[in-house]
């Protein structure tokens, strides 16, 4: 079995790379609106949400509070290289000072900054970056973020269709059939933590039986990509209504932990679904 070819880009709504506002003229109101468009809590309280753009993590921040004021925006981490921040900051100014300076609202500021990873690395504002190649790369990252948000909003507006397809595909019958096919006693199995399975061509497939940590069998599918072994974990948790709910996770490298995927992480869910369908088809006659 071979790793999957490239998949078509997921549908988008509201935002896209083509519609991305240029970083050098980006205003705080636009940033706040981008964050609000993907809000899933319905709350104005401080909160954070981590999404995944390939192996890059994107932290979405809403109403973070500190001594200087309130900030909302995005922090993208490119592993081993740098962090890229796009934030809208509303400064904390006492009402009496607002009145004294004839202001109706506190002052706002847009922060677009780049920070190489490392103990002594300093944050540099976008407008002060001397290297044109670095600025061009950040421009592309910003377009990618807008694509991600557009794909996520499309999933959210339609009640997460990719997640629903994953839930229906990774059901108990198929997982049990896959477990039986892998553990038929005819082959020596390899371990990945509590999971045991086999390399099938370019893909490693491993199962963990149902137990205390999961009401149904759990599955890991791994593949080699960009000199790293990446993995999806398909698991199930008990919900509050006596049923089970799907829990998806992504591991960027074998040495790292698994990170939870959101219902709107469209590209990861699309790939996870295609890999799952391919593995089930190759291993079970009834799937």
pTM: 0.90
**Is there a domain that residue 25 lies in?**
yes
- How many domains is the chain partitioned into structurally? 2
Can you point out the beta strands (E) in 21-145?
47-53, 56-66, 69-78, 82-91, 108-116, 124-125
Beta bridge partners of 124: 114
Residue 3: what pLDDT?
67
Which string of b and e fits 232-271 if b means at least 16 CB within 10 Å?
bbbbbeeeeeeebebebbbbbeeeeebeebbbbbbbbbbb
DSSP state of 215: S
Same domain? For 101 and 190 the reply is: no
**Is there a domain that residue 150 lies in?**
yes
Q: What is the per-residue pLDDT across 193-246, written as a single tens digit (0 to 9) for each?
A: 999 999 999 999 999 988 877 888 999 999 999 889 999 999 998 888 778 899
Write the CA distances from 143 to 16, 134, 153, 171, integer angstroms.
Answer: 7, 14, 15, 36
pLDDT band, residue 92 (cuts 50/70/90): low
**Is there a domain that residue 3 lies in?**
no
SS3 8: coil
Residue 106: what pLDDT?
53
Compute the distance between CA of residue 75 and CA of residue 114 in angstroms, rounded to an integer. 10
Say how many CA atoms lie within 13 Å of 101 toward its Cβ: 10
**Is there a domain that residue 8 lies in?**
no
Same domain? For 175 and 270 the reply is: yes
95, 130, 157 - which closes a domain: 157
Compute the distance between CA of residue 75 and CA of residue 87 in angstroms, rounded to an integer. 8
Place of tokens 């593995």: 279
Residue 227: what pLDDT?
87
Q: Tokens representing 205?
A: 């497939």
Same domain? For 98 and 220 the reply is: no
Residue 69: what pLDDT?
78
Q: Residue 266: is its pLDDT beyond 90?
A: yes
Longest Cα–Cα distance of the chain, Å, equals 82
Q: What is the per-residue pLDDT across 98-131, written as a single tens digit (0 to 9) for each?
A: 444 444 455 788 999 999 998 888 999 999 999 9
Q: What is the per-residue pLDDT across 144-201, written as a single tens digit (0 to 9) for each?
A: 999 999 999 999 999 999 999 999 999 989 999 999 998 887 889 999 999 999 999 9
Same domain? For 32 and 94 the reply is: yes
The span from the first CA to the last CA of the chain, in angstroms, equals 17
Residue 252: what pLDDT?
96
Same domain? For 28 and 72 the reply is: yes
157, 176, 207 - which closes a domain: 157
SS3 112: strand
Same domain? For 268 and 234 the reply is: yes
SS3 24: helix
132, 157, 182 - which closes a domain: 157
Q: Residue 5: is its pLDDT beyond 80?
A: no
Q: Which domain, by its residues, includes 249?
A: 161-283
Residue-wise DSSP of 150-182: HHHHHHHHTT-HHHHHHHHHS-HHHHHHHHHHH
pLDDT band, residue 287 (cuts 50/70/90): very low
Residue 90: what pLDDT?
83
Q: What is the per-residue pLDDT across 41-81, written as a single tens digit (0 to 9) for each?
A: 777 788 889 999 999 999 999 988 877 778 899 999 999 99
Same domain? For 142 and 211 the reply is: no
**Is there a domain that residue 122 lies in?**
yes
DSSP state of 128: G
**Is there a domain that residue 41 lies in?**
yes
Compute the distance between CA of residue 21 and CA of residue 187 in angstroms, rounded to an integer. 55
Same domain? For 25 and 136 the reply is: yes
């Amino acid at each position: 079995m071979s790793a999957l070819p490239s998949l078509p880009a997921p549908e988008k709504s509201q935002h896209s790379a083509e519609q991305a506002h240029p970083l050098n003229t980006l205003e705080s109101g636009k940033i706040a609106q981008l964050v609000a468009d993907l809000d899933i809590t319905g709350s104005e309280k401080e909160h954070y949400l981590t999404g995944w753009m390939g192996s890059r993590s994107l932290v979405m921040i809403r109403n973070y509070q500190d001594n200087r004021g309130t900030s909302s925006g995005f922090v993208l981490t490119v592993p081993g290289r740098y962090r890229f921040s796009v934030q809208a900051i509303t400064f904390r100014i006492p009402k009496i000072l607002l009145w004294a300076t004839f202001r109706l609202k506190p002052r706002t500021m847009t922060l677009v900054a780049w920070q190489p990873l490392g103990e002594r690395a300093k944050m540099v504002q976008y407008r002060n970056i001397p290297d044109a190649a670095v600025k061009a790369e950040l421009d592309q990252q910003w377009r990618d973020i807008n694509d991600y948000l557009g794909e996520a909003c499309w999933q959210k507006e339609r009640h997460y269709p990719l997640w629903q397809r994953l839930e229906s595909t990774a059901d108990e019958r198929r997982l049990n059939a896959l477990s039986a096919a892998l553990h038929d006693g005819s082959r020596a199995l390899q371990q990945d933590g509590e999971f045991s399975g086999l390399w099938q061509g370019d893909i490693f497939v491993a199962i963990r039986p149902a137990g205390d940590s999961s009401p149904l069998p759990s599955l890991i599918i791994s593949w080699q990509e960009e000199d790293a072994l990446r993995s999806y974990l398909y698991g199930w948790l008990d919900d509050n209504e006596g049923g089970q709910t799907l829990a998806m996770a992504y591991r960027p490298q074998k040495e790292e932990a698994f990170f939870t995927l959101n219902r709107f992480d469209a590209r990861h869910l699309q790939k996870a679904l295609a890999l799952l369908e391919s593995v089930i088809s190759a291993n079970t006659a009834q799937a």
